[in-house]
Amino acid sequence: MEAINLKGTYDTPTVTLDPENGRFEISGRSYPEDTAEFYIPILEWLSNYIQHPNEHTNFVFKLDYFNSSSYKPFLDMFLKLAEARQKGHNISIEWYYKEGDWDIKEAGEEFSEIVEVPFEYSSF
């Protein structure tokens, strides 16, 4: 599968979806002007990837800030990952938050509760 490598901007995150090198990461800020335009290709990519994922996939979220319109595409990603886990695929989710940024940590906990998948938490 072709990798996605998007360099972050001030309002969009850095996205690395690279099965060959085993890297799956979304980091930085997310409050694009057009959330759909930014996330539709990523969600489509993920839908395809989970059909035949790597033996192990560790998905890393390392966000500084994301706006309310980014919540739903994020939830959609977690739902896709949860679905693949249910089918028996080995998928883990790592949720990073800046030391002291309890709001981001809590957002991760709430996503985790909704999709019923435990996240691993680390500060950076």
Size of the site for another protein (CB under 8 A): 28
Q: Are 70 and 31 in contact (CB under 8 A)?
A: yes
Is residue 80 near another protein by the rule CB under 8 A? no
- CB nearer to another protein: pick between 3 and 40: 40
Is residue 121 near another protein by the rule CB under 8 A? no
Is residue 44 near another protein by the rule CB under 8 A? no
Selected from 104, 108, 112, 119, the binder of another protein by CB under 8 A is 104
Q: Give the CA angle between residues 72, 74, 78 to the nearest 5°.
A: 115
- Closest alpha carbon to 54 in 78, 27, 81: 81
**6 - beta bridge partners?**
15
Q: What is the DSSP-derived secondary structure letter of residue 12?
A: S
For residue 6, the tally of other CB atoms under 10 A from its CB is 16
Site string for another protein, 48-67 (x = CB under 8 A): ----------------xx-x
Region of 15-23, 36-44, 53-61, 87-95 interacting with another protein (CB under 8 A): 36-44
